[in-house]
Every structure is written in C-alpha cells, then in structure tokens.
Amino acid sequence: MNWHLKRAGQALFTLWAVVTLSFVMVRMLPWSAEDIVVAELIQQNPNLAQNRDMLRRQVQDMLMIDPDASITEAYVQYMMSVMQGDLGTTYGVRSGEEVSAIIAGALPWTIWVMSLATFGMFALALALGAIMAYREQSAFDYSNSAVAIVAASIPYYVAAVVFIKYIGFSDFLFLEMIPARNRLPDGVAVGLTFEFVSGAFRHALLPALSFIVTGYGLTALAMRGNSIQTLGEDYVRVARLRGLPDRRIALRYVGRNAVLPLYTWLIISIGTMFGGAVILEQLFNYHGVGYWMLEAIEANDMPLMMGTFIVLTAAMVVAIWFGDLTYGKLDPRIKSGDEGEAY
C-alpha cells in the first residue's frame, strides 16, 4: 500500500509540475493574452482603437485576468481554476468558447484512434514476433526482420502522407470507402447507429495505420528475442518432455513470459502516440486534442494551447502510473515496491 501511495504521489507531483510549467511558460512570453486579443479586435475594427483602455478591461474580464494581482495570487488562481476543470476561454481558434468544452468534445476521438493504433500495433507485433521466433533463421524470419527494421525507420507522418495519397483519395475497389479527412462522414450524427460506428472506424483507420505500420517493427523484434530466450529455458524443455501439446507450450509458457517484458513498452508507447497525435490529426484534419493544440499554436491562443498541453501530458503520466500499478498483478514473480524481491 505504501508503494502504491508513493507512485500516486509521484504522478500527482508530475502533474503539478506540468501545470506549473505551463503557467511559467506563458508568463515568460514577451506578450500577454489580452494584448493579442486587443490587437486582433482593433485590426478587425480600427474604430475600437479610440477606446483601447476600455477594450482592454473588457478583454481582461472575458479572459478572467486580474491586472492588479501579484504573480503569486495569479498562480494560486490559475491552479484553483485548473483543479476545478476551468481552463479558460479561447480567443483565437473558437473565440468565446470554453477550453474544457473543446477538449471534452475532442478527447474521446483521440482516445479512439490511439486505442485502435495500440491494439493493432501490439497484436500484429506479438503474433509476428512469436512466429519469427519459432521459425528462427528461416527465410520468413530474415525477410520479416528486414521489413520490421525498415518500417521502424519510417516516421509516422511520412507513412500518413503516403496513405493519404494512395489510399485516402483512391477509387480502387474498396479503398474508396476509407476516407482521409474528418472524423465522421458528412451528415452522420453521433449515436449508437451502424452509420456512426462504421463511419468512425473508417475515418480512424488511416491515422491508426500510420502508427501501426511504423511502430510494430521494434516491438516485433523485441517479441522475437524474448520468445527465443524463453524457448531455451529449462521449464519449456520440461514441458516438452512431459508431452504437453505445442499449442499449450506456445501460449502458456512461451508467449505469456515473452510478452510480460513488453508491457512497460506498451504503456510508454501510448503516451508517445498521444504526443504524435498533434501532427497526425492535423494531416488527416481529424479534430482531436492534437489537432486543436496545433491550431492554438498557430493562432497564439494561449488558453487552448495550455489546456491541450496539460491534457496530453496528463495522459502520458496516467498511462505510466497505471502501468506501474498493474505490472505486479500481471507478473506474479514481481512484488510491487519490494525492490524486485520474488514471492
């Protein structure tokens, strides 16, 4: 229990550090949020320049900025607002809308794509890596090892561009059913209908494939190495001498023990994918959290930029924390918090 509390404390400290860093980064900028909004409003309507002071006060009220507050008071107010889920109001991308509402509408879509990518990548990598291990030094092993190395060297955004060009806009057979833009087909409403489910899957397929194709290689090679090492263990030899079926040996003895070391890799890859969503969602015009983060950066929208930054970082922290808490449950040889002591 003490170890679980320690890991939870470390996760909370990391989240606090991220929120604090976002506050400091904004304070270090040579311009303020109200300066940007005032300049944009005056650019749209030059007559407002005559009442610049009144316009600035109105903008400060909209952005919930107290010009008389000290930096300590501003920091406390900011932390309290974040803890209550109040991330401010946008003023560049979707002016006047709550940041938390934008993120709440975009986060499920990002999680959907990342879930498809994670499941597909590891299912492919584990199955392929295990087969490569059983056929070690065969033509299948050599060819797939080479393909895995090449795939791992390709950036995911390059694969995304290739998919967009040759699949997303192709009229060849069923490929025309796989779109390269947006989250849903035009006119399809959110709901538990066949049109919604099939449309959400088809629109998320290419972004997920971009991660799967470029990310499975290293995991497959790691699975191959772990499986080869496990096949040489004494308990596998004993299982064969006992006459156990090869399928049972492959699943219960080899596969299970070869997969366990990759669990931490799986958790870390989830956080990495959330970071990669910033570019990927922009390429596919997929309105997830990463899409809105890049839009906020281009529009100098500080509240939305900080909100998406906090959410994406928090996703990685929570994923790693969850991996720490669950690894001991998956591997009975590890006792959480006891410096690696065996049961």
Report DSSP letters for 246-311, one per residue: HHHIIIIIIIHHHHGGGHHHHHHHHHHHHHHHHHHHHHTT--SHHHHHHHHHHHT-HHHHHHHHHH
Contacts of 12 (CB under 8 A, 6+ apart): none
Say how far apart CA 249 and CA 255 lie, in whole Å: 8
Q: So what's the pLDDT on residue 77? A: 83
**Owner of token pair 């156990």:** 244
Angle at alpha carbon of residue 186, lines to 173 and 312, rounded to 5°: 100
pLDDT at 173: 67
As a whole number of Å, the end-to-end CA separation of the chain is 16
CATH class of 103-330: mainly alpha
The pLDDT assigned to 338 comes to 47
Provide the residue type at 61 as one letter: D
Token digits for 285?
A: 């015009």
Q: Which of 275, 280, 234, 286 is nearest to 257 (CA)?
A: 234
Taking phi over 0 as left and psi of -120 to 50 as alpha, with beta for the rest, 156 belongs to alpha
C-beta separation of 63 from 71 below 8 A: no
What backbone phi and psi angles, to 5 degrees, belong to 130? -65, -40
pTM of the predicted structure, to 2 decimals:
0.81
Q: Show the CA angle centred on residue 63, arms to residues 22 and 291, nearest 5°.
A: 55
Tens of pLDDT along the chain (343 residues) come to 576 788 888 888 988 998 888 788 766 665 666 676 777 677 777 777 777 777 777 776 665 566 667 778 878 888 888 888 888 788 777 777 888 999 999 999 999 998 899 899 999 998 899 888 888 889 999 999 999 999 999 999 999 999 998 888 777 767 778 888 888 888 888 888 888 999 999 999 999 999 999 989 989 999 888 888 888 777 778 877 787 777 777 777 777 778 777 877 777 777 777 777 888 999 999 999 989 988 888 877 778 888 888 888 888 888 888 877 777 666 665 554 544 443 3
**Measured between alpha carbons, how far is 132 from 253 in angstroms, rounded to an integer?**
17
How many CA atoms lie within 13 Å of 33's alpha carbon, on the beta-carbon side?
29
Helix (H, G, I), strand (E, B) or coil at 63: coil
Q: With the C-alpha atoms ordered 21, 26, 27, 30, is the resulting torsion angle positive or negative?
A: positive
Nearest to 220 by CA among 251, 259, 269, 247: 259
**pLDDT score recorded for residue 343:** 34
Domain ranges of the chain: 2-83, 103-330
- Give the residue carrying structure tokens 């994918």: 273
Instruction: Give the orientation angle of helix 99-134 with respect to helix 263-283, to 10 degrees.
Output: 130
pLDDT at 116: 92
Task: Specify the pLDDT at position 331.
Answer: 63
